[in-house]
Amino acid sequence: MTTEQVAAPISPWQVAQQQFDLAADKLNLDPGLRRVLREPRRELTVHFPVKMDDGSVQVFTGYRVQHNLGRGPAKGGIRYHQDVTLDEVKALAMWMTWKCAVVDLPYGGGKGGVVVDPKKLSRRELEGLTRRYATEISIVIGPERDIPAPDVNTNAQTMAWIMDTYSMHVGYTVPGVVTGKPISLGGSQGRNEATARGAVYCIIEAVRHMGMELPRARVAIQGFGNAGSIAAQLIAAEGASVVAVSDSTGGIHRAEGLDVDRVRAWKREHGTVQGFPGSRDVSNAEVLETDCDILIPAALENQITASNVDRIRARMIAEAANGPTTPDADIRLHERGTFMIPDILCNAGGVTVSYFEWVQDLNRDFWDESEVNKKLKGIMVKAFQDTLAMSTKEEVNMRTAAYLLAVERVASATALRGLYP
C-alpha cells in the first residue's frame, strides 16, 4: 500500500481548532480575539525520572496545558495513557474551556497527561510517578490557579496522592487543589457518577424534544469504564434497554437487552465484558454500528469518522467521551437528521460536580448527594435548553450551537478584561 492511500489520522488539536473556527466565523469574532482564543495560554512539558521496583530508573514525559483563564482558574483532568501527545492534551484543554463555559462555570480550560501504560506499573511505581509528576507541574497548579481532576486511567487515589504532594510542598493541607478526591479527603458526594448522570439528564431532555419514549429506546454504549458503565446503569433505571456495550477488549450484543448489573459484575470478575453469558461477542466497531435508538460513545476521541459514519444507525448520539466524532462525520450526521448531544454539553456533569467539590472544599461546608444531584440537574437542563434555543435561533446543529454559546461567553470575558499590559 502506498503512503498516498493511507489517510493521515486527524489530530485532536486540528479537530478542536476547526470546531472553534466554525463558531468564530458564525460570531464574526474580532480577528485579534480569535488569535488569542485559538491557542493555549500555557503548555508545560516535563520529563521526570521514576525509580522502578527492580531498581532501574525510567524517564517519563508529562504535560499540563492551560488553554484560557479569562473566566477563572484552569480546570481539567489528568490522563495516564501510552498514546498521550501534546496535541491531544492541547485539544482537551480547549474543549474544557468551552465545556466550562457552556454550563456557565467560573473556570477556564486545562488538561494534563503522562505518556505511560499504568497497567504495567505496580502500585508503588504508580504512586512514585504521580508524586513526581505532581511536583513537576506544581509550578502551575493551585486551588486558585489550575485544579486537576481524574481522567482516563486516573482515579480518586491518584488525586489523593497529588493533593498530598502539593500540600507537603506548601506546608499545610490544600484539599481544593484537585477534585475527584476520596470523600474522606474532601471529595464530593455524587462525583463518581456525575459525568454519566449529567449525560443521562441531557438524554432525557433530548428524548422529550424528539418525541421519543425512553422506556422503548434501545441503547448502545462504547466504553464501559466509569462514565459508560454508570450511564448504562442509570439509563436502564429509566426503563431503556441496553443492547450493546464494549470496553477496550471488545464488545457484547444482546437484542433483547443486557442485565447491566450482571455485566458490571462480569467485567469486575473477568476484566472484560466479552464472554458474558447469553450475549454475542462483537467488535468495538460493531457496537458503534449497532441498530439502536441512542448511541453513547464513552471511550476515546475520533471514533465516529468519515469511514464509518454511514454505518451509524442511531437516531441520537450522546457524547459521554471527549471528541469522539470528527468534523466531517458531524456534518454527515446532521445532514441525515441524527440528533447530537455534543461532548462539551453531554459530559459536562463531571466538571460541574468537580466545581461543587471545589466550592465545598474552599468553604469547608459539605452537601449530601441529593443536594448535589439536584444542583447538577438544574445546571445540565438549563445548559441543554440554552443550547437547543441557540440551535433553533441560528439554524445550526447542536454542536455548533454549544460552541456559539461557549465561545461567546469566553470571548466576552476575554474582551472585557482586555490585553495586559
Q: Which CATH code fits 29-177?
A: 3.40.50.10860
- Write out the H or E segment, with its range, that includes residue 408: helix 398-417
Spatial distance between the Cα atoms of 353 and 370, rounded to a whole number of angstroms: 12
SS3 116: coil
Active-site residue among 90, 111, 181, 267?
111
What pLDDT score was predicted for residue 337? 94
What pLDDT score was predicted for residue 2? 44
What backbone phi and psi angles, to 5 degrees, belong to 387?
-65, -45
- Cα 125 to its chain centre, rounded Å, is 26
What is the length of the chain?
421
Residue with cell 468519515: 306
Residue with cell 439528564: 201
Question: In Å, how far are 34, 149, 241, 315, 398 from 206, measured between CA atoms?
Answer: 31, 28, 17, 11, 11
Domains 29-177 and 194-346 fall in the same CATH topology: yes
**Residue 235: CB atoms within 10 Å:** 25
Residue with cell 425512553: 214
- Write out the H or E segment, with its range, that includes residue 136: helix 123-137
What nine digits make up the cell of 49?
525520572
| Alpha-carbon torsion angle 347, 330, 10, 195, nearest 10 | 10
What pLDDT score was predicted for residue 19? 86
416: exposed, middle or buried (Cβ count in 10 Å: 0-12, 13-18, 19+): exposed
Closest CA to 66 of 33, 96, 46, 88: 96
Closest CA to 47 of 116, 94, 149: 116
SS3 133: helix
Q: Which fold has domain 194-346?
A: Rossmann fold (3.40.50)
**Residue 142: CB atoms within 10 Å:** 16
Question: In Å, how far are 230, 237, 259, 266, 273 from 262, measured between CA atoms?
Answer: 13, 14, 5, 6, 10
Domain definitions of the chain by residue range = 29-177, 194-346
Spatial distance between the Cα atoms of 383 and 409, rounded to a whole number of angstroms: 13
Residues of the chain with pLDDT under 70: 1-9
What nine digits make up the cell of 51?
525509580
Strand 294-297 relative to strand 280-282: parallel, antiparallel, unpaired?
unpaired
- Is position 111 annotated as part of the catalytic site? yes
Residue with cell 442511531: 314
What nine digits make up the cell of 95?
474543549
* pTM across the whole model: 0.93
Spatial distance between the Cα atoms of 2 and 7, rounded to a whole number of angstroms: 11
Spatial distance between the Cα atoms of 98 and 348, rounded to a whole number of angstroms: 10
What pLDDT score was predicted for residue 152? 87
